[in-house]
Structure 1
Amino acid sequence: MIMTKHEFLISANLQEQTLEFWLEQRWLIPDEASSEVLFSECDIARVELIQDLQQNFGVNDAGVELILHLVDQLHGVRQALSLLQETTHFK
């Protein structure tokens, strides 16, 4: 599901000021292919992760940034392994 910024703020139960900070930090990177900034359900999941880290685990901003970086690296490795598996499977 694709959401506008307004829809995303409501769905994520997020304040606009918080969203703007997270966008500046590049913790969230919405789709800007059109003239409008659009968010997805993956962005909602990322908000939930950030909120969990901050509220339930007491992780500070530097820690959130590091954890998100590691999660993104892990996701990239999983995609690369999947692609590798697909290409070697067809040979």
Structure 2
Amino acid sequence: MVMTREEFLKTSGLQVTVLELWIEQEWLVPEKTPSGPCFREIDVARARLIGELQSGIGANDAGIDVILHLVDQLHGMRRALDELRREMGKPDV
């Protein structure tokens, strides 16, 4: 599901200033469209993860940067592994 900025704010529960900060820090990277930023469910999940990292475990900004970078690397490696499996003709796991 694709969401506008306003729909994302309502769904995620974020304040406008927090969203702007997280976009500036590149913790959230919405798709840019002619009508404005476009958010997806994965962005909502990522926002909830960031909130949990901050309030649930008390991670600071530097820690969140590292954690998000590692999560992104992990997802990238999983996509690469899935692509390799497809090229080899093996089913996804």
- For the superposition of Structure 1 and Structure 2, which TM-score range results when normalised by the shorter chain? over 0.9
Q: Distance in 2 between matches of 1:64 and 1:71?
A: 10
1:17 alignment partner in structure 2: 17
1:86 alignment partner in structure 2: 86
2:62 alignment partner in structure 1: 62
Identity %: 50
Q: Following superposition, which runs of at least 4 residues in structure 1 exceed 4 angstroms of deviation?
A: none
Root mean square deviation, CA, Å: 1.0
Cα-to-partner distance string for 1:21-42 (whole Å, 9 max, x where unaligned): 0000000000103331110000
Aligned residues: 90
Gaps of 5+ in 2: none
Gaps of 5+ in 1: none
1:52 alignment partner in structure 2: 52
Asked if residue 36 in structure 1 is aligned to residue 44 in structure 2, the reply is: no
When normalised by structure 1's length, the TM-score is 0.95
Cα-to-partner distance string for 1:54-90 (whole Å, 9 max, x where unaligned): 0000000000010000000000000000000000117
